[in-house]
Structure 1
């Protein structure tokens, strides 16, 4: 299909502010309305015409050739007609400096095999260079190069992801995939992983813990527990990702639904791949400083480039210091980060990567938020309320080393080896607040309505993860097919110790509590502890069969071995109780997908994927462990790719069935050395289903857009007590996210404005029959950016512009009810060199 870049008469209608009562439905319609026209037609770009011989300045970032040409045409004011097939999978090194139109085209098209031909009407068309024609020797555009790096592209999307081990386009993956690029992180001033993932389609941020920087992340009704670093599956350490800083990341890739083939054990929610920054081939760096609400300050540096004359050794180093206040009284955190990575070319086809990352956090948290009235109503306390003593603290220190080796055997095969190991140490001394009335919430009319207790806890954890694989191509039945085989292993060992050092203490007046009024007690010695070990390893393989030019069949499977054991220590008596070892052997995880390319723009897909989750605390009547929970993900969808990958869109329908959930064997208590309590059987089943749609990328060279909408319902399909009801009532049925950034056509396009909205429908938590509700709400965010030069920028980001009062997490009547952030702003100055 032909694209025409140039002057346009098209305008888009204004979008009115949505009222809270109807925002979920309207936002759903808006998201689909945004996706529909993009997936049905090309777009036009407007500009003022420039003569072919006059020169002007350009600042076009490297990226897809089609997008670079579109930006060049808009800036030059000329009309360029192209066929998307001509520039598909071609990339450009960009254009910086003063050029005429003809000179600019020559530079942008170097090495592409294409040339721009001026027409009698003043417009241009692209055509292949005639045989025998000499072009400039420099090669700045490579055919069919899939580069997943998002840094420096200025884009909200990427033409390639690596979460499936292969480097492949979004259209080639038969599941819902989102990419959070570096540009979006910068435009929205994202600094922590939790707030970054909160901007991803279908991901819900649930802050019920209330700890400084700690949150639960949920997708499709299930907690997200599957993480990867640069494609290497990680053993989940819970708070390992608390306050994780995104300054070291190039992008975040999220595949929703089950991903057992990649990960092994886990939930059928989503898998998050954290892709770190890599060394650059040329010297480059940046510094940044921020200041914001509640006396928050942040500074960053990022520098990299060749470390020797030949450039065969390259390094990159990132440092961050973040001193962050809070709208909650006395809550504060200080974080420091160092990240260093070195790439070494051992041979033309072999590269070694070595790296170190360290993060240290010292926080004064407000643990577990606020209670509610015993009838489920909010207490109506100010958002600044802290019902825990000011001596609370939570310290965390994580040191990680990682290494990777890649070797290309020839043009078809590549060997990959990656390892990372980390040590995590945590200390906290904290109080836990809960409602009274036998923990049934705060009695209406009561002021002496809450209690707190003290807990001291320490942990030392070690995590080791490795992955080795080979990917390449084979020829079968006259066609080329992709093959991947590999192994990975994960090991997690942690020692903990703790004590309860404070008996329950009543708060005299919950509505007038001063956290500094409570003297810090002596915590005394640790009284108990645990030693936990979890190991998992597996072998996996998959193939992409080219059944025909448009039809691809993806088949894969994994065999997993999983083992865990927890021993309990009583430091008072000196007795250690050895825990039971839970083991699952040869767990098979299959995968199947089908992708049909309708044309060079659209792909239809269908897929099946599953994942298993060990059950480690329930046992059968015979004292054996239950079969693992299995989550099966069924999905169909349509994906579209526009402007040679500058814009991507998708829509999908999904269903997840999770079976083998533990159910009590009614009337059959279990007793004995191995089992205490009730017996269970693996008979429960739940279902999560819905639709998702997303648009991300450039509508024009000056207009970036992201929009994502999710409809999700959850239900108990088979359960002794809850059949037919929602299995996760805190999952909103409607979740909508929008962010857009536009460079204004004034003052040499130095100014940009951005805006977005996060909206969701109502949800609730249950304590028995008592319902605690949060109504539908939407939160508005805005930004203003000024580019003093191509090296220096200033940005102001305003969160919760309308100062909406809402709960970002609801646990119930006892605790875990956390307010969302009030209106706040952050000013950032950034300079690159």
Structure 2
């Protein structure tokens, strides 16, 4: 198990880096200029008088533009892309981002403590986040708390390097969150659910035009969830509200204004997680509810986001988009860490040997982003071509504080000898926290210029080429170490597609890798950016009258100077070194509709990671994973729906500070649901998670704990 010093870079300062990523990512992508109007379900609507109003086109359903920001269908994009729809999230009860991303091909959700996770793909952290197509990186790749999914229409996962739009990029991929927008007709839904551990949830989603001619419309989304946990002492409460208004300005402009607020409160959370090794080298096994927490611990996160967009149609073929985004995030936490301290492991028989360490802190982040993007069509080679270009500027300021003078039993808090594990939540009294002091400030700025074009050479041969110029600056102080750094890079992106037939497309793509890193070396200085290259070759094919899309991709990524844990410096702080790592492998995905009543997503990933430890580099990453999402309705009684979702991974391992190796064998977890539309507009649904009641450690990355046992949720949804 890691010591607090090794976790220190991940505690409150890490929230700031994540907040920068999410907060500054809240700019929006360019919408297709001539997409057909769609209803809430995504199907085409009949022509009405609203078709003449520009705002209808702007609200139309989006094709994926997360990889290039061009008007490309997923099949025509020369990268691997998976989509998790709002329907899938609702069917499988995926109310948080962690739950939703487990439905995506090739994504690993690494929950290494109760309030922080990493998402990985192809062996690397996904350190890039977009919202509606544009975003900034998250240097650590850490996601804090349970982010609600109810405000999103879908999640797009672009696997592989994607520096073209994020400004910087690594070899893992990018998650693009597509927000809900107002619909063209009045409609809404409301739902309630009850589940295991006293979990309850209520949610409402309503959209309506404000004017008879449909020029202005709005949407409000709200959710409340609370409940206990299978983990001792842990309970959660989450409130989420999102409102958006859009409408037409003059004959050629549309304006969108939005605001989102989430308040997430967790009591009894773990900072770090469980130790699994005894001093004799054997591996400990605990009850699935085991926790190191104390009763007074909590982690509260409040986030507010506001955004404004203006889109102007510049004639028939071009449009301009201006966007401003603002985000404010506040964290307040009191934490308790448990470690073997000396790296000797637990004492067999007594389970002694752990020490506890209390810590408290606060942080606040404000972030602003301004962007301007233009895209359109032009004629060349006697064919229609597409072009987009844009500029952006962003800035964030972060202040991190801690209760450095906290007192435990009248003395300064330090490592406290703990009784044999497991222990109760009342072993260590809450410290007297005293005054708060600032230990870290961070000011980050990013200037960008980027462009891309899709060129059609023949009916079969097309190309996507682009560039991104980014100037990244950060300055501040962290535990007495001052820094002032400026980096700049121009990165190319290129892809070719060839239509072997109307149903089969082959592609190759290349992207530079350039990612500033927030990890520090032994002297406390930030590491240089990691650089490299990403290559991908694939085949995409339509089947069953274009109802089913299959993708076969072979990839290779080279990341040079990638931050990798190296040990402890003389001050007891965990530090990192830049290491060259190569990932190569193959991915297969099939997604779509097998028949009128059967939907399917199935995926498989196999990879090889090579670095300083040879093929054992990042051994906590499973080398083979598979996923399945199958949902269906009975043909003879379509009111009855059912589905099964599953994930399998190969065995993993890692070395604890004791020097012993902890292991988790391969395992599979399946979730299922049965739904009944007992009225045309009302659905009763039963969800069962971990159907086989599998016992497993959810990750071995830094630390880990046991995944949830079999649990149930009963929900009622009404549509109006």
* Fold shared, TM-score > 0.5 on shorter chain: yes
Tell me the residue number matched to 1:351. 254
SS in 2 for 1:294: helix
Contact 1:264 1:611 in 2 (8 A): no
2:277 paired with 1:373 = yes
Verify: 1:696 aligned to 2:591, yes or no.
Answer: yes
Q: Does 1:795 align with 2:685?
A: yes
Change (3 A) 1:811 1:450: farther
Paired residues, what number? 669
Q: In the TM superposition, what is the alpha-carbon distance from 1:521 to its structure 2 partner?
A: 2.4
Matched, 1:604 2:536: no
Over 3 Å counting, the alpha-carbon distance change for 1:230 and 1:631 in structure 2 is: same
Residues 473 and 567 (structure 1), Cα distance of their counterparts in 2 relative to 1, 3 Å cut: same
* In 2: Cα distance, 1:660 partner to 1:784 partner: 48
1:391–1:92 CA distance, 2 compared to 1 (3 A): closer
Does structure 1 conserve the Cα–Cα contact (< 8 Å) formed by 2:37 and 2:44?
A: no
Distance in 1, matches of 2:448 and 2:520, equals 24
2:606 pairs with one of 686, 711, 720: 711
Which position in structure 2 is the counterpart of 1:559? 469
CA distance in 2, matches of 1:352, 1:647: 36
For residues 800 and 109 of structure 1, do their structure 2 counterparts lie closer, same or farther at Cα, with a shift above 3 Å needed? closer
2:44 paired with 1:170: no
Aligned pair partner of 1:755 in 622, 628, 644? 644
SS at match of 2:275: coil
Asked if 1 retains the 8 angstrom alpha-carbon contact of 2:493 and 2:512, the reply is yes
Could you tell me which runs of 5 or more consecutive residues in structure 1 were left unpaired when the two chains were aligned. Answer: 1-88, 96-106, 112-136, 151-157, 570-576
1:552-578 per-position Cα deviation (integer Å, ceiling 9, x unaligned): 011111111011123147xxxxxxx56
Following the alignment from structure 1 to structure 2, what is the Cα–Cα distance between the partners of residues 358 and 428? 19
Aligned counterpart, 1:826: 713
Structure 1 match to 2:493: 591
Q: CA deviation at 1:167?
A: 2.8
Task: Indicate the SS of the match to 2:415.
Answer: strand
- For 2:453, the equivalent position in structure 1 comes to 543
Tell me what 2:102 maps to.
198
Distance 1:555 1:148, change over 3 A: farther
Cα offsets for 1:443-494 (capped at 9, x unmatched): 3233323221100110011122233211111212222211111112332211
Conserved 8 A contact 1:738-1:757: yes
Match of 2:120 in 1: 218
Q: Which residue does 1:636 correspond to in 2?
A: 537
Render the CA deviation track for 1:93-135: whole Å, top value 9, x for unaligned. Answer: 799xxxxxxxxxxx99978xxxxxxxxxxxxxxxxxxxxxxxx
Q: Distance in 1 between matches of 2:478 and 2:118?
A: 27
* Alpha-carbon spacing, 1:108–1:233, altered in 2? closer, same or farther (3 Å): closer
What displacement does 1:615 show?
4.7
**2:381–2:457 Cα contact (<8 Å) kept:** no
Equivalence for 2:319? 414
Deviation at 1:685, TM superposition (A): 1.7
| Alignment partner of 2:170 out of 267, 277, 287 | 267
Match of 2:418 in 1: 507
Contact 1:232 1:466 in 2 (8 A): no
Report the Cα distance in structure 2 between the residues aligned to 1:395 and 1:109, rounded to whole angstroms: 44
Query: Counterpart in 2 of 1:35?
Result: none
Indicate how the Cα distance of structure 1 residues 245 and 351 shifts in structure 2: closer, same or farther if over 3 A, else same: same
SS at match of 1:750: strand
Match of 1:67 in 2: none
Contact persistence 1:159–1:646 (CA under 8 A): no
CA-based RMSD: 3.2
Q: Deviation at 1:725?
A: 3.4
SS at match of 1:205: strand
CA contact (8 A) 1:149 1:250 kept: no
Task: Name stretches of at least 5 consecutive residues in structure 2 with no aligned partner.
Answer: 1-34, 407-412
How far apart, in 2, do the equivalents of 1:109 and 1:563 lie?
A: 47
Bigger Cα displacement from structure 2, 732-741 vs 412-421: 412-421
Inter-CA distance 494–275: structure 2 relative to 1 (3 Å threshold): same
Q: List aligned pairs for 1:20-31, cutoff 5 A.
A: none
Secondary structure at 2:426 match in 1: helix
Partner of 1:741: 631
The 3-state SS of whatever aligns with 2:239 is strand
Partner-residue secondary structure (3-state), 2:635:
coil
Aligned to 1:32: none
C-alpha change, 1:173 and 1:524, in structure 2 (3 Å) is same
Distance 1:625 1:290 in 2: 46
Q: 1:52 maps to what in 2? A: none
Distance 1:321 1:394 in 2: 18
Decide whether the 8 Å contact of 2:519 with 2:576 is kept in 1: no
Taking the aligned partners of 1:629 and 1:198, their CA distance within structure 2 comes to 27
Which whole-Å CA distance do the structure 2 matches of 1:467 and 1:755 have between them? 42
Which region of structure 1 is more displaced relative to structure 2, 237-246 or 485-494? 237-246
Q: Is the 8 A contact 1:649 1:694 kept in 2?
A: yes
Q: Distance in 2 between matches of 1:417 and 1:477?
A: 31
Between structures 1 and 2, the one with greater strand share:
2
CA drift of 1:271 comes to 0.7
CA contact (8 A) 2:136 2:168 kept: no
Structure 1 contact 376–773 (Cα < 8 Å) conserved: no
Contact 1:110/1:140 (8 A) holds in 2? no
What SS does the aligned partner of 1:344 have? strand
Instruction: Compute the displacement of 1:242 (Å).
Output: 2.8
* Contact 1:261–1:611, Cα closer than 8 Å, also in 2: no
| 1:682-734, Cα deviation, whole Å (9 max, x unpaired) | 7x421001111111111111111111111111111xx4xx3x23321111111
In 1, Cα distance between the equivalents of 2:557 and 2:321?
32
Measured against aligned partners, the alpha-carbon deviations of 1:362-398 in whole angstroms (never above 9, x if no partner) come to 1111222211124564421111112221111001100
Alpha carbons 2:356, 2:416 under 8 Å: kept: yes
5 Å-filtered alignment, 1:390-401, equals 390-401=295-306
- Is residue 2:672 matched to residue 1:782? yes
Change (3 A) 1:779 1:678: closer
Mapped partners of 1:148, 1:181: distance in 2? 17
1:276 matched to which residue of 2? 179
In the TM superposition, residue 517 of structure 1 has moved relative to its aligned partner by 4.4
SS at match of 2:197: coil
1:72-91 equivalences under 5 Å are none
Per-residue CA deviation, residues 401-423 of structure 1 (Å, 9 max, x unaligned), is: 01111112122111122221101
- Aligned counterpart, 1:317: 220
Show the 5 A alignment for 1:127-142: none
Distance 1:377 1:742, change over 3 A: farther
Q: Measure the CA separation in 1 of the matches of 2:369 and 2:69.
A: 16
365-374 or 696-705: bigger deviation: 365-374
Would the alpha carbon gap of residues 544 and 266 (structure 1) be closer, same or farther in structure 2, given more than 3 Å must change?
closer
CA distance in 1, matches of 2:499, 2:446: 37
Report whether the alignment pairs 1:442 with 2:346: yes
Q: Distance in 2 between matches of 1:654 and 1:109?
A: 39
The alignment partner of 1:302 has SS state of: strand
What is the distance in 1 between the residues matched to 2:563 and 2:221? Answer: 46
- The 3-state SS of whatever aligns with 2:165 is helix
Equivalences for residues 664-683 of structure 1 within 5 A:
none
Q: Is the 8 A contact 1:278 1:341 kept in 2?
A: yes
- Describe the shift of the 1:791–1:389 C-alpha distance in structure 2 as closer, same or farther (beyond 3 A): same
Cα 1:625–1:811 change in 2 (3 A) is closer
Shifted more, 446-455 versus 686-695: the winner is 446-455
* Higher Rg: 1
Q: Secondary structure in 2 aligned to 1:516?
A: coil
Equivalent in the alignment of 1:71: none
- Specify which of 614, 617, 621 is matched with residue 731 of structure 1: 621
Q: Look up the match of 2:90.
A: 186
TM normalised by structure 2 equals 0.87
